[in-house]
A and B are shown apart, each in its own frame.
With several copies, the nearest count.
Chain A
């Protein structure tokens, strides 16, 4: 192993880390908001909204992000209507397009995950809330969302980690984040394994921190499930 090479590779890759992190943070944030909108439409009971949400989830969950990103970046720009619209200043920018397609895609996945969390809420607890006159947003905010979010958390943490890795595709649209830079290094040096290992370490550390943070959050949100003593946690399940 060539330590000097690994070190310089590592430095080169680290220079691209801010791009990766910016892509990640923005797309997770925007995608999360979009997902809430989509899941709201999906469970709204309104057949039109619900059908729209179903199609949305189907398309963005069902096709590879690579193709989505390609069509959004190179495809949309083909139409002169798009090029002359007020959106063009944004759609012209590779970074904005990358964030847009990442966010659209994760919104489809997250919506489905949130819906799963909602379905896991006990019907009885919902009834108890309805019985004291809660409905609509209040019911969602006080009872449904906290329980559903707790249920959805493990799946959602997986999705967030996937997003971190999905940012790698942004080099397709000329946004050079960590993986893209790694691939460029490889086509310059042909030391595939060494470069990829450096990249892997970076992603592993990032994702490890993310997963740890989620585990902490999960722990904090499950006080009501833990026994107050530790000796008997899950006594039934482990005995």
Chain B
């Protein structure tokens, strides 16, 4: 199955009450793909990522991870997954960095980072700790390792969340605006970390407002509009002028 796609999404739909947020989204990610997901606020980017790792269960469509279909069913008006085991396994291969960080408030930063490797992947604690220290070093908050999330600045929390996701060594990473709370210097640092990951062949799906990243690091740009994929292509195609007028209007503000 080594030639299976790491991630393949078919025709995903999702509504909140009567409000249809995703109206049928399909997306294939090949090994090593770095896909930038662009779109206006409220266009459903976060919801899309949350559907991929089943934090929201889609109302329709299919999700395939590493050639394996994620199964769910509808029963008595509720949607439930078929096998919790399957989901857990898949999720531990899908890293996620949340828009609102979601660090565990009762653990220090270091504990947050080693939690998954130690207790989900059951790896030796000493190894995990050493790796965690390296990761924290890399994102520049090694000195905060013993602080609790509530005592960190926004940017520090965001970097801790990135370190936590990376510590799981997932096959596919889902980033929800991983640099929103960072200053340009750190944005640079974090983007460098992500670029290195990309070069190592990690598959990534990145919701971002950083056009620089979309243009230079990613090999595909997907533009969402009102719950649909408006246009997508290589950065050259998209930024070169082949994309839809809506996308040009969207990035027009950036070019200013």
Residues in chain A within 8 A of chain B (CB atoms)? 122, 124-125, 127-136, 138, 142-143, 146-147, 150, 221, 223-225, 227-232, 235-236, 239
Contacts and interface: CB of A to CB of B under 8 A. Distances in A.
Given A132-B120, A135-B87, A224-B148, A229 B92 contact: no
B91 A133 contact: yes
B245 to A, nearest CB: 33
B96 A131 contact: yes
A83 B181 CA distance: 70
A218 B147 CA distance: 19
Contacts of B120: 132-134, 138
A235 B56 contact: yes
B252 interface: no
Interface string B114-133: 01100110000000000000
Can you list the 3 inter-chain pairs with the closest CB atoms, starting with the nearest?
Answer: A133-B92, A229-B17, A224-B148
A44 to B, nearest CB: 13
Contact of B116 (A133, A146, A236): A133
B175 interface: no
Contact of A231 (B77, B90, B94, B103): B77
Interface of B: 15-19, 53-57, 59, 77-81, 84, 87-96, 98, 100, 102-108, 115-116, 119-120, 147-151, 164-165, 168
14 contacts: A125-B103, A128-B102, A128-B164, A136-B84, A138-B120, A224-B149, A225-B148, A225-B150, A227-B151, A228-B19, A228-B151, A229-B18, A231-B77, A239-B57
* Most A CB within 10 A of own CB, among B53, B59, B88, B96: B88
Nearest to B104: A125
A130 to B, nearest CB: 6
A146 B106 contact: yes
B166 to A, nearest CB: 11
B148 A127 contact: no
Contacts of B77: 230-231
Contacts, number: 111
B84 A227 contact: no
A125 B105 contact: yes
Contacts of A135: 84, 87-88
Given A229-B17, A232-B56, A128 B106 contact: no
Nearest to A233: B78
Given A130-B53, A135-B84, 4 more contacts: A131-B98, A132-B91, A231-B77, A232-B16
B168 A127 contact: no
Contacts of B55: 127, 130-131, 235-236, 239
Contacts of A133: 87-93, 116, 120, 168
B80 to A, nearest CB: 8
A150 B80 CA distance: 30
B105 A132 contact: no
A196 to B, nearest CB: 41
Contacts of B147: 228
A224 B108 CA distance: 8
Nearest to A45: B80
B98 A124 contact: yes
A227 B152 CA distance: 11
Contacts of A142: 115, 119
B15 A229 contact: yes
Given A133-B88, A223-B148, A227-B151, A128 B103 contact: yes
A232 B102 CA distance: 20
B102 A134 contact: no
A125 B115 CA distance: 13
Given A134-B120, A135-B88, A228-B17, A124 B107 contact: no
A224 B119 contact: no
A224 B102 CA distance: 14
A143 B102 CA distance: 12
Contacts of A122: 102, 105
Contacts of B15: 229
A6 B115 CA distance: 58
A227 B151 CA distance: 7
Given A124-B100, A127-B98, A135-B87, A239 B81 contact: yes
Given A125-B104, A130-B91, A239 B54 contact: yes
Contacts of A150: 106
A178 B98 CA distance: 56
Nearest to A129: B104
A46 to B, nearest CB: 12
